[in-house]
């Protein structure tokens, strides 16, 4: 494994707050894909932001239990645009619950990056 791939793997593990062993790495990968799919399905672009062509990026820390329940969230980085920042808690509500965590995981805390970008 080259140094860049190794560094990226460590960054990903720390972002999700877990160290994956080879046995559960595939489970975590599948879980992350399922979460990404749900975020893509549930994330909405507020009409007023669309009308004013507002874009933004944010980061939210989610605390998840074994069954996928989001029991807490914290906005780590706001977009700086109030219309988008007000959408973050609404999105967290729509995402709850996430898919159940892979076997053996009782809880997980991770930072979810969010993007609102016009095409």
Task: Domain ranges for the chain, please list them.
Answer: 25-116
Express each pLDDT in 36-88 by its tens digit.
Answer: 999 999 999 999 999 999 999 999 999 999 999 999 999 999 999 999 999 99
Average pLDDT over residues 6-25: 48
Higher pLDDT, 68 or 14: 68
* Four-way CATH pick for 25-116: 3.30.1150.10, 3.20.20.210, 3.30.365.10, 3.40.309.10: 3.30.1150.10
Q: What is the predicted pLDDT for the residue at 15?
A: 52
Residue 49: how many other CB atoms lie within 10 Å: 21
Which contiguous run of DSSP H or E holds residue 44? none
- N-terminal to C-terminal alpha carbon distance within the chain: 36
Which contiguous run of DSSP H or E holds residue 58? strand 56-65
Sole residue written with tokens 């707050």: 17
d(CA 15, CA 76): 13
Given a cut of 50, is residue 9 above it in pLDDT?
Answer: no
Q: What is the predicted pLDDT for the residue at 16?
A: 53
DSSP 90: H
Q: What backbone torsions phi and psi does residue 5 show, to the nearest 5 degrees? A: -65, -40
């Amino acid at each position: 494994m080259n140094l860049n791939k190794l560094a990226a793997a460590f960054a990903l593990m720390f972002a999700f707050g877990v160290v994956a062993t080879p046995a559960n790495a595939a489970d975590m990968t599948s879980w992350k894909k399922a979460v990404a799919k749900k975020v893509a399905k549930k994330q909405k672009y507020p009409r007023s932001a669309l009308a004013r062509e507002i874009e933004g990026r944010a980061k939210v820390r989610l605390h998840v239990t074994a069954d996928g329940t989001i029991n807490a969230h914290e906005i780590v980085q706001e977009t700086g645009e109030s219309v988008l920042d007000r959408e973050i808690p609404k999105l967290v509500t729509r995402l709850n619950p996430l898919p159940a965590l892979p076997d053996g995981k009782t809880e997980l805390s991770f930072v979810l990056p969010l993007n609102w970008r016009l095409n």
